[in-house]
Amino acid sequence: MNVAILGFGTVGSSVARILCDLKPEGIRISHIFNRGVARKRVDWTPSHVVWTEDFDEILRSDADVIVELVGGLDPAATWVRRTLEAGKSAVTGNKKLIAAQGIELDRLARTHRAHLLYGAAVAGGIPVIPGLRQGLAGDRITRIEGILNGTCNFILSQMESGVAYAHVLKEAQRLGYAEADPTEDVDGYDARAKLVILSRIALRVGLEVDAVACRSIRQVEALDFGYARDLGCTIRQIAKAELRADGVSAFVGPTLVPQRSPLAWSRGTENMVLVSGQYGGDVVFSGHGAGGHPTAVAVVSDLIALAHGSHPVDLPSRAASISGEFQLRHYVRFVVKDTPGIVAEIAGALAAERINIDALFQRPGYKKDNLPFVVTVEACAASALRRALERIAGSAWLAQPPIDMPMLGE
């Protein structure tokens, strides 16, 4: 099976290195594509490999499988589409592309008797996608929740020790875990794309990416971890989707996680996915998802599957209405200019939405004109809590807007 690699960056070069080192039976690198390809040449690939910056040359060649590792939507989408239309199979780790156009591309692959594999699109080297597609295809999955972004997990797990967000972000950028513009990671867009892909495979529903509620971790401060510890929790960026009778509930954002939950044990750039099945119960996938080598392992695994005639189970998905509503407890942190009647006003706004206060926490040592305290509320809909907070948004005693985060159960 002749394989052409589009993109010779961190992941593409790792794929080539693994193929050269392991020499898996039945697989031969035929082409390597990159813009400005001359600067990318290395001397450890086989002499027969054609280095090119012309995609059409690859499409006309004897390559059986084209591996897209360029990323983004354009021109990657065009290249994958043309690959499948030519009857060649495609392997990709492009989460943005698969989240946005995966259903259409799967259909195109079937039409042209080709195959589209994307095991590297979620959690890098952790076999979540093949595990769901084949290992759990016999179950009815009802819920997915997990840590799908290693950058955010590194930042939040470092903040547990009291370090400020801005300082940890700089360290993540220095180590190469975060981009110069970290928006995709810290604002939840990366995890959201991965959640849409997992929902399609596990819950068998097609979700529009932009319809999934998404919140940033930028709002989290070091003091929130102190309050979280008082509640027996820590804070992680959680992606969660669950089947409902009338559709799917889904969200991505910072969330309080009980210390006894496996999700609280994940540190650094680790990813973790918890899947709940109607018959098989709970299954956990965990490991180092990010980085060139782990992601390349997933790509090479897809290539080996193709070379040996193993193709993904076809799990058709259906369109579903989507909501960000979950009945969960919530953590709400206020920073106020201390005056009489604040708690009464908060309680009144919550009561108007039929939300009950569960507990109130106030740590000592803060100035009265910038005083943080936390209110936890009993399980309620996120929209009801949002309306309650809007009622007090203009109050003179607020020193800054309140922050709320859902709290997962045990």
Q: Rounded distance, CA 260 to CA 265, Å?
A: 8
Q: Where are the alpha helices (DSSP H) in 164-235?
A: 165-174, 183-186, 189-198, 222-230
**88 carries an active-site annotation:** no
Cβ atoms within 10 A of the Cβ of 201, count?
Answer: 25
Which residue is catalytic, options 194, 240, 337, 367? 194
Please name which of 375, 377, 409 lies closest in space to residue 263, comparing C-alpha atoms.
409
Q: Rounded distance, CA 43 to CA 35, Å?
A: 18
Q: Rounded distance, CA 35 to CA 182, Å?
A: 25
Cβ atoms within 10 A of the Cβ of 87, count?
Answer: 11
Both tokens of 351, joined, read: 């009561």
Q: Parallel, antiparallel, or unpaired: how do β-strands 247-258 and 270-277 relate? A: unpaired
Both tokens of 353, joined, read: 């939405």
DSSP SS3 for 131: helix
Catalytic annotation, residues: 194
